[in-house]
Amino acid sequence: MLRLLSIRWIPVRNMSIFTQCLNPLTGIATWEEKDQDYDYHQEVARSAFADMLHDHERVEEANVLDIGTGTGLLSMMAAKCGADSITACEAFSPMAMCAITIIKENGFADKIKLIHKRSTEMTVGKNGDMPKRANILVTEVFDTELIGEGALSTFRHAHETLLEKNSIVIPNSGTMWAQVVESKSVCAWNRIESISDIETQRILIDAPLCIKSCSGAAAVHDIQLSRLPHNEFKPLLPPQPMFRFDWSGNTPLQYDDRVCLDVSPINNGTAHAIFLWWDLNMDTEKKVLLSCAPVWEHPEIKNLPHNNVNFNELADVIPWRDHWMQTIYYLPSEVQISVNNNVSLVGYHDEYSFWFDIKNGPILKIPNYDRPICNCCTHIAYSRTRIGQLNDKERNNKYIKALSKKVKPNSVCLCFSDGCFLGLAAAQLGAKKVYMLETNFLSQKTIEMFIKTNNLGDKVEIISKDKLPPVNMVDLIFGEPYFISSIVPWENLRFWYLVSQYSSRVQKIPIAATIKAVAVEFKDLHKIRAPLGVCEGFDLSSFDKLVQESSDKSDSPVDAQPLWEYPAQALTLPFTIKTFDLSTNVHDQKRIQISDDVPILQSGSCNGVALWVDWQLDSEINVSCGPTQKIVPGKRILWDRFTRQGVHIFRNIKNVSCTDILSWSFVFVPQHGTVEFQFKINTRKQNKNG
Last-in-domain residue among 381, 401, 436 = 381
Residue 529's pLDDT band (boundaries 50, 70, 90)? confident
Shared domain for 289 and 340, answered yes or no, is yes
Does residue 340 form part of some domain?
A: yes
Shared domain for 356 and 421, answered yes or no, is no
**Where residue 110 sits, what CATH number does that domain have?**
3.40.50.150
Q: What is the pLDDT of residues 631-646, one digit of tens each?
A: 999 999 999 999 999 9
Sequence length of the chain is 690
d(CA 261, CA 340): 16
DSSP per-residue letters across 520-566: EEESSGGGGT----EETTEE-HHHHHHHHHHHHHH--SEEEE-GGGS
Q: What is the pLDDT of residue 308?
A: 65
- Asked if 529 and 651 touch (Cβ cutoff 8 Å), the reply is yes
| Angle of the 38-45 helix axis to the 93-105 helix axis, nearest 10 | 70
Q: What is the pLDDT of residue 545?
A: 85
- Asked if 218 and 373 touch (Cβ cutoff 8 Å), the reply is yes
Q: What is the pLDDT of residue 43?
A: 45
Last-in-domain residue among 347, 381, 415 = 381
Does residue 51 form part of some domain?
A: no
Shared domain for 225 and 343, answered yes or no, is yes
Catalytic residue ranges:
140, 149
DSSP symbol at 99? H
List the single range of 12-16, 89-93, 669-673 with lowest mean pLDDT. Answer: 12-16
**Where residue 576 sits, what CATH number does that domain have?**
2.70.160.11
Domain of residue 93, residue span = 63-170
Residue 7's pLDDT band (boundaries 50, 70, 90)? very low
What's phi and psi for 495, nearest 5 deg?
-50, -40
Q: What is the pLDDT of residues 144-162, one digit of tens each?
A: 999 999 999 999 999 999 9
d(CA 101, CA 511): 56
Q: What is the pLDDT of residue 36?
A: 47
Q: What is the pLDDT of residue 30?
A: 58
Strands (E), 9-124: 17-22, 29-34, 64-67, 86-89, 112-115
| Pairing status of strand 460-463 against strand 433-437 | parallel
Q: What is the pLDDT of residue 17?
A: 46
d(CA 32, CA 316): 43
- pTM for the full model? 0.88
Shared domain for 246 and 334, answered yes or no, is yes
Shared domain for 166 and 178, answered yes or no, is no
Q: What is the pLDDT of residue 544?
A: 82
Does residue 20 form part of some domain?
A: no
Does residue 298 form part of some domain?
A: yes
Using alpha carbons, select from 607, 610, 606 the residue that is nearest to residue 646. 610
d(CA 352, CA 142): 11
List the single range of 367-381, 424-438, 650-664 with lowest mean pLDDT. Answer: 367-381
Residue 81's pLDDT band (boundaries 50, 70, 90)? confident
Using alpha carbons, select from 416, 409, 452 the residue that is nearest to residue 432. 409
**Mean pLDDT score across all residues of the chain:** 88
Shared domain for 376 and 418, answered yes or no, is no
Last-in-domain residue among 329, 358, 381 = 381
Shared domain for 262 and 347, answered yes or no, is yes
Residues 17-23 have a mean pLDDT of 53
Question: Looking at the 3D structure of the chain, how many domains does it have?
Answer: 4
Does residue 656 form part of some domain?
A: yes
Kindly compute the dihedral angle of the four CA atoms of residues 37, 38, 44, 48, in this order, to the nearest 10 degrees: 180
Q: What is the pLDDT of residue 577?
A: 98
Shared domain for 337 and 219, answered yes or no, is yes
Residue 318's pLDDT band (boundaries 50, 70, 90)? confident
Shared domain for 265 and 352, answered yes or no, is yes
Shared domain for 365 and 407, answered yes or no, is no
d(CA 557, CA 545): 17
d(CA 398, CA 496): 20
Shared domain for 224 and 258, answered yes or no, is yes
| Distance from the Cα of residue 85 to its chain's centroid | 40
Using alpha carbons, select from 657, 654, 676 the residue that is nearest to residue 667. 676
Does residue 502 form part of some domain?
A: no
pLDDT at 18 over 70: no
What's phi and psi for 604, nearest 5 deg?
165, -170
Amino acid at 599: P
Q: What is the pLDDT of residues 21-63, one digit of tens each?
A: 656 666 665 545 555 454 444 444 444 445 554 555 544 544 5
pLDDT at 380 over 60: yes
Residue 217's pLDDT band (boundaries 50, 70, 90)? confident
Shared domain for 407 and 373, answered yes or no, is no
Does residue 540 form part of some domain?
A: no
The neighbouring-strand residues paired with 535 are 538
Residues 566-584 have a mean pLDDT of 97
Residues 437-466 have a mean pLDDT of 94
Does residue 534 form part of some domain?
A: no
Residues 231-252 have a mean pLDDT of 96
d(CA 90, CA 637): 40
- Asked if 261 and 242 touch (Cβ cutoff 8 Å), the reply is yes
Residue 548's pLDDT band (boundaries 50, 70, 90)? confident
Q: What is the pLDDT of residue 4?
A: 41
Using a pLDDT cut of 90, give the percent of the chain over it: 69
| Distance from the Cα of residue 471 to its chain's centroid | 40
